[in-house]
Every structure is written in structure tokens, then in C-alpha cells.
Structure 1
Amino acid sequence: MSTAKLRLGPLPKSEPVKLTVILSAELKTTLDRYAALHAQTYGERVDAVTLVPYMLEAFMARDRGFRGSTAKRRTGS
């Protein structure tokens, strides 16, 4: 196992919903490299398609503007 610290940790199990997106070739290559590093770090082979939902979830969870907007909607402000 690698000692690299990745923002995206081991993947939890979940129920998938299909969504189609179009990426640039450069972004796909970068995602593939991330997937390879993730597999090396956590010892479980994973592809970019599997990682993308977790990356998006982590991104939105850390986005202060989005979190603030979501909290305001819940309280009715």
C-alpha cells in the first residue's frame, strides 16, 4: 500500500443511478491516473467511472457556498 494521502478515501457501497456525462480527453486521462493511485493506496482496483460520484459528493460536501444555500432552503430563509 502507498503512503499517499488522498482526499477521497475508501469507497462505501451504494445503490447506483445512471448518469451520462461528457469529459475532455485530458480530464479522463487525469481521472484514470487518480483511479490508479487510489487502487495503489487502498489495495482495491477501481476505475474512474466508479470514482466520479464519490468525487462529486466530496466536492459538494466541502463547498461552503453550496452548503450555505442548502441550509437556507431547509430553514426557509
Structure 2
Amino acid sequence: MSMSTSKLRLGPLPKTETVKLTISLTTALKTDLDRYAALHAQTYGDPVNAATLIPHILQVFIARDRGFKRAVLPRTVATQRNEKAASD
């Protein structure tokens, strides 16, 4: 494999509580996940399989989705102050 291992978007995996969820993937996506898992293991020294990576990849994706953040984040402190001042 001639992939660069200098930096992966997904860093070392944290220990977390989990729930089981069953999903279906295309064969191409499963192949890519297996390749990513192999590269992740090579980069960080801990063997990991694709199924273990999926929740972490999704977490990173959601954390970086600006549209999602705007839709679900609470109003800013400045907005709350302006609303309070208007009601006084």
C-alpha cells in the first residue's frame, strides 16, 4: 500500500459507550472502510476494523457539518441578551 500516513482526519479512537445499529453499505464503501481501517491501524499502531470506525467517522462528519450546527445549536448569548433587553 502506498498511501501516505502523515495525517488522517480521524485521530486515535476514544473509549465510549455504544448502542448497536445495523446498516447496509455498498461493496465499494465497505472496501474503502476496510482500507481506511488498515491505514488507521498502520498510523496509530492499534488494529481496528471498519465497523469500529464507522461511529467515529460519523461523529466527525456531524461535528463539521455547519448546516447541522446552525440548525441545532442553541441561540447565542448575544441573541439571548437582546431578547431580554427588548422584553424589559
Q: TM-score, normalised by structure 2?
A: 0.78
In structure 2, stretches of 5+ residues that fail to align are: 76-88
Instruction: Give 4+ residue runs of structure 1 displaced > 3 Å after superposition.
Output: none
**Is 1:39 paired with 2:41?**
yes
Aligned length: 72
- Share of identical aligned residues, percent? 64
Q: Which residue of 2 is the match for residue 13 of structure 1?
A: 15
* CA-to-aligned-CA distance 1:7-32 (integer Å, 9 cap, x gap): 00000001110001100000000000
Q: TM-score, normalised by structure 1?
A: 0.89
In structure 1, stretches of 5+ residues that fail to align are: none
Question: Which structure is richer in relative contact order (CA contacts within 8 A, separation 6 or more)?
Answer: 1
Alpha-carbon offset, residue 3 of structure 1: 4.3
Q: Please provide the CA RMSD for this pair.
A: 1.2
Matches within 5 A, 1:1-77: 3-71=5-73, 74-75=74-75
